[in-house]
Chain A
Amino acid sequence: MPPSSLRGNLIAFGLLALAVLLAFGLGRFPVGPGELGRLIWAGLTGQASGLPPQVETVIWNIRGPRVIAALLCGAALAVAGTAFQGLFRNPLVSPDILGASSGAALGAVIGIYFSLGIIGIQFAAFAGGLVAVGAVYAIGSGLRRGDPVLVLVLTGVVVGSLLGAGIGLVKYWADPYNQLPAMTFWLLGSLAGTAKPDLVPLLGPVLLGSAVLVALRWRMNAMSLPEEEARALGLSTGPLRVAIVAAATLVTAASVAAAGIIGWVGLVVPHLARFLVGPDFGRLVPTAAILGGGYLLIIDTLARTVGPVETPLGILTAVIGTPFFIWLLASARGGWS
């Protein structure tokens, strides 16, 4: 019997609620759940909360946007990772397999190199991710040899390493005192300094792409079968693959543009979600979204509370992700449940 999805989703929502309380509560201005409740009630009704104005500022203008950004990025990466693991029939796949992250990274370092300013850098990163995956898809579809999915993955790996060389080259050219630290910081991932206006470019692509992936989730089961089986079951695999890749790339590029490179979330969270609700994509995709948001929010809270300065998110996700994955490899027998 697969785990009951009700119980699994209750656990996921519980973790999410805990993550939100901790994220709002912890920091230089501790805020208790009661105060948080009063603030939100005041915000909804328009009455005065009676709390010190510093606390209101911290919640609404500093922690609030950051919490929403973490939830959106985490959910986006988890949903994209879940969809890609099904599409590429491989549980070791993450959303950057087709070059979305490395393309976005190249776009960002080019933006920093030309001192484009924050909006320009974010746009360059977003466009870089889309262009990279578009190029991989065009090349992969042009090479009509054997299994289209395998060709796509291999093309992604090859193009990804070329993009990596491009990133290295721009870093090599960069001014080592001003630009290089900014590039390094960006490549390690961070949500520090996220403000309300930063949410606007993140919200649209993430909601649109996630909505497409959530809507197509029931078809992902059959899409995870070998190409010919999926078609014999009545799926138009070509157009569906384009739709899934486009939606997953949209959300990945948007989250990388907002938060930099955050590895591991899209790889680890789908497995955690499978523990909770089983492998059926119809139930897995929504649970992965909830869990991904909570997961990244907890990581981000750790990033700003442990240590005297902020720890980059990419470092924390790797430190947590690596042992988890080794354990997963050691314990997985007879399929990925």
Chain B
Amino acid sequence: MSLSACGLSYGYPERQIGREIGLELKPGEVLALLGPNGSGKTTLLKTLLGLLPPQGGELALDGAPLAALSVAERARALGYVPQAHAGTFAFSVFTVVLMGRTAHGGLFAAPSAHDRAIAMAMLERLGVARLAQRPYTQISGGERQLVLIARALAQEPRYIILDEPTASLDFGNQGKVMVEITRLAAEGLGILFTTHDPNQALRYADHVLMIRNGQAIAAGSAAELLIPERLAELYGVAIETVRDTEGRVAFLPGH
């Protein structure tokens, strides 16, 4: 049981973005994807979700090639949490989460009572059930991110892939969202997220994949890989390390 890539190359028809990527995401694990701006993280996520066809190598979900699955089958296995955006229409939060049930109903089917119950349960699981009838356009960025995670959970997936889940959030909401994400891993989901903050990866991830210019420069356990030398190589700046008396570390970019 895993979402795995081996020798994966990816990109767009006219332009290759990355190559020779290997990764394995197992249920219950948290994998952080680190890399500078423009390193190809988002394109890799799209490829892992099956939204872009791989250009080479192997990409498998629980042993079967991802490309062999239908769009709906993929959506029932892989939940996607995009960066939070306001959206065009003022759907209620509940309606937004209900959209996570799309892959479980027929083409013409209205959401069933079961679908509604699951959507509500996922809002409760993330502690935002009180927002259910609020317009999605009028809640805060942190609340939107939690609602989008609830929507991904409503897909009842085995893995959840998050694109910079804390990118536009304030300090408090960053912590809140990351705590929820690790709780989901403890409940048995495989979690993959991208981040610009190595401290977040160090604190919340089991494994780390570092990519630069579309190539993996390191992959392995978070504690082993997240050291100043590696980060300096990845981001091309000097890294300062801060330690507390218990030996825990945090990184600061630049000097």
Mark A residues whose CB is within 8 Å of B. Answer: 1-2, 86, 89-91, 144, 215-216, 218-219, 221-222, 224-226, 228-229, 231-236, 278-280, 282, 334-337
B204-230 interface with A by 8 A CB criterion: none
Q: How far is the CA of A232 from the CA of B95 in the complex (A)?
A: 17
Most chain A CB within 10 A, of B79, B80, B89, B138, is at B89
> Which of B71, B82, B103, B109 has the most chain A CB atoms closer than 10 A to its own CB?
B71
Whether B75 contacts A336 by the Cβ 8 Å rule is: no
B109: chain A residues at CB < 8 Å are 218
Quick check: B88 and A280 within 8 Å, CB to CB? no
* Nearest residue, chain B, Cβ from A212: B108
Q: Which residues of A contact B136 (CB under 8 A)?
A: 335
Asked if B191 is an interface residue, CB under 8 A from chain A, the answer is no
Q: Would B155 and A218 count as touching, CB distance under 8 A?
A: no
Say whether, besides A225-B99, A233-B100, A336 and B90 are in contact (CB < 8 Å).
Answer: yes
Question: 9 A–B contact pairs at CB < 8 A?
Answer: A216-B108, A221-B98, A228-B80, A229-B80, A234-B76, A234-B102, A278-B90, A334-B90, A334-B138
> A322 → chain B, closest Cβ, in Å?
23
Contact A215 B108 (CB under 8 A): yes
When A225-B99, A228-B51, A232-B51 are in contact, do A335 and B75 touch as well, CB less than 8 Å?
Answer: no
Does B78 contact A232, Cβ atoms closer than 8 Å?
A: yes
**Closest beta carbon of chain A to B180's beta carbon, Å:** 19
Contact A233 B75 (CB under 8 A): yes
Nearest-CB residue, chain A, relative to B49: A232
Residues of B61-107 at the interface with A, using a CB-CB cut-off of 8 Å, are 71-72, 74-76, 78-80, 82, 85-92, 95, 98-100, 102-103, 105, 107
Does B55 make an interface contact (CB < 8 A)? no
**Which of A224, A235, A279 has the most chain B CB atoms inside 10 A of its CB?**
A279
Please indicate the chain A residues that have their CB under 8 angstroms from the CB of B100 in the complex: 233
CB distance from A209 to the nearest CB of B (A): 15
A279 and B109 CA atoms in complex are apart in Å by: 18
Q: Report how many residues on chain B are interfacial, defined by Cβ distance under 8 Å.
A: 40
Task: Say whether B253 faces chain A, with CB atoms less than 8 Å apart.
Answer: no
Contact (Cβ within 8 A) B72 A234: yes
CB-CB under 8 A from A334, the residues of chain B are 86, 90, 135, 137-138
Interchain CB contact (< 8 A) of A86 among B78, B82, B89 = B89
Complex CA gap A86/B155 in Å reads 22
A215-B108, A221-B95 known; 7 new pairs, CB 8 Å cut-off, are A218-B108, A231-B51, A233-B99, A279-B89, A334-B86, A335-B90, A336-B90
Query: Shortest beta-carbon distance, A292 to chain B, in Å?
Result: 18
Q: Looking at chain A's contact residues, is the secondary structure mostly helix, strand, loop, or mixed?
A: loop
Task: Verify if B46 is at the interface (C-beta below 8 Å from A).
Answer: yes
A236 to B137: give the CA distance in the assembly, Å: 26
Question: B110 near A218 (CB under 8 angstroms)?
Answer: yes
Nearest chain-B residue to A144 (Cβ)?
B13
Given A226-B82, A228-B51, A337-B135, are A234 and B91 neighbors across the interface (CB < 8 Å)? no
Assembly CA distance A279 to B88 (angstroms): 10
CA distance A172 to B105 in the complex (A): 54
* Contact A221:B110 (CB < 8 A) given known A232-B75, A235-B71: no
Assess whether A280 is in contact with B135, with CB atoms less than 8 Å apart: no
Q: What residue of chain A has the Cβ atom nearest to residue B105's Cβ?
A: A218
State how many angstroms separate the Cβ of B17 from the closest Cβ of chain A: 15
Chain A proximity of B15: nearest CB distance (Å): 12
* CB contact under 8 A between A335 and B110, given known A224-B89, A225-B99, A232-B80: no
Residue contact A335 to B155, C-beta cutoff 8 Å: no
B92 near A216 with CB under 8 A, answer: no
B23 to chain A, nearest CB (A): 19
Instruction: Please provide the chain B residues from 19 to 58 with a CB less than 8 Å away from any CB of chain A in the complex.
Output: 46, 49, 51
Take A233-B75, A234-B75, A335-B135 as given contacts and tell me if A219 and B102 are in contact as well, using a CB distance cutoff of 8 Å.
yes
CB contacts (< 8 Å) of B16 on chain A: these are none
Inter-chain contact A2/B92, CB cutoff 8 Å: yes
Is A218 within 8 A of B71, CB to CB? no
Partner of A234, one of B89, B98, B103, B135: B103
